[in-house]
Structure 1
Amino acid sequence: MNFEHLLVVNDPDNPLVAPLTREELWFGLLCRAEDSRPFLPGLEACTILSRSDTELVRELRFGSAVIRDRVTLQPMEWVRFDTEHTDAHAGGSLTIGIEEPAPDTMVLRFHYRTTLTEQGVGDDVPYVEYVKSAYHQSDVDTLRVIRMIAESGRIQ
């Protein structure tokens, strides 16, 4: 399944939402790469196994479930999380990109690739829609946590 959606970060027509800079967004995405616990409910531990300037290999612990992933960074542009396929996890990827489609407008593009079929069949249809909804809610929460980080002044 490929699933993609946008979340508006800065909208000049909505003065109720404080704008974020690209640097604040990027810092928030780096925080998610370094330690995903505030971003993923149920995640008990996030251990960096190796790192380079543009890549991290991590081990994520959700109770007894252990998932390994590789995080690739294109600074100030995008971050990609590639989860390894195991017997306990189907694997897949999530890319989060920062885009500026118009002046003073910024969005985050979330693109998922999973092993789920694109179009559910029969009993799978509600499951595929549930997964898409869960991904969307997780992404809304990601932006909420990034806003909290920016408001706390941690980037300064």
Structure 2
Amino acid sequence: MFTVSKSMFVNDSTDHEPILNHDHVWEGLVMKAEDATPFVEVMTACRILERGDRFLRREVEVHGHKSQEWVTFFPKHMIVFEPLDGPTRGLIKNEIEEDEQGALAIRFTFTFELAEDETMSEQAYAKRMEDSYTSAVETTLATIRSFVQEGKL
């Protein structure tokens, strides 16, 4: 089992517009949980199968492979994704953080165990995941910003 964690400031010094607040980020993460296709480039389908007050079960399609995920909401703070099938077992966490000065950050944490038949080493897989999910954090923030500009958030 291995863990990869990456935190990025939401409103960094590169003058991203518009400036996002906590509610924008939370609502964007909820939208991503409900339909990740605008946020995750490699995901071609995302369908909700079951919904409760603080959870949903969804079916996603990535690289032509369908799988199911259990999604748990910790309002205004974190969303946890748990793959229910597929080549890996583990958790994906999307957390909203603030530093001592109140600067917003988003942290993606991935804790996985590879399937026994996986030929890639955990270290190589972790590196691939870190690269992929760093891009996913950037894409998520860009998509949230565009939704704010379009009035969807």
**TM class by shorter-chain length?**
0.7 to 0.9
Aligned in 2, Cα 1:30/1:100: closer, same or farther, shift over 3 Å? Answer: same
Aligned in 2, Cα 1:100/1:63: closer, same or farther, shift over 3 Å? Answer: closer
Task: Provide Cα deviations, 1:24-75, integer angstroms capped at 9, x if missing partner.
Answer: 0011001101101111223222111111110000011236411100110011
Residue 9 of structure 2 corresponds to which residue in structure 1? 8
Residue 57 of structure 2 corresponds to which residue in structure 1? 57
Which SS does the other structure have where 2:10 is aligned? strand
Residue 16 of structure 2 corresponds to which residue in structure 1? 17
Aligned in 2, Cα 1:15/1:138: closer, same or farther, shift over 3 Å? Answer: closer
Which SS does the other structure have where 1:58 is aligned? strand
AA aligned opposite 1:111: T
Task: Provide Cα deviations, 1:104-134, integer angstroms capped at 9, x if missing partner.
Answer: 4110111111114xxxxxx734443223211
AA aligned opposite 1:134: S
Q: CA RMSD in A?
A: 2.1
CA contact (8 A) 2:7 2:105 kept: yes
Where in structure 2 are the equivalents of 1:113-128 lying within 5 Å?
A: 113-116=111-114, 124=121, 125-128=123-126
CA distance in 2, matches of 1:43, 1:5: 20
Residue 42 of structure 1 corresponds to which residue in structure 2? 42
AA aligned opposite 2:94: I
Unpaired segments ≥5 residues, structure 1: 117-122
Where in structure 2 are the equivalents of 1:2-151 lying within 5 Å?
A: 2-11=3-12, 14=13, 16-18=15-17, 19-62=19-62, 64-86=64-86, 89-116=87-114, 124=121, 125-151=123-149
Q: TM-score, normalised by structure 2?
A: 0.84
CA distance in 2, matches of 1:146, 1:42: 18
Query: Identity rate of aligned residues, in percent?
Result: 27
AA aligned opposite 1:59: E
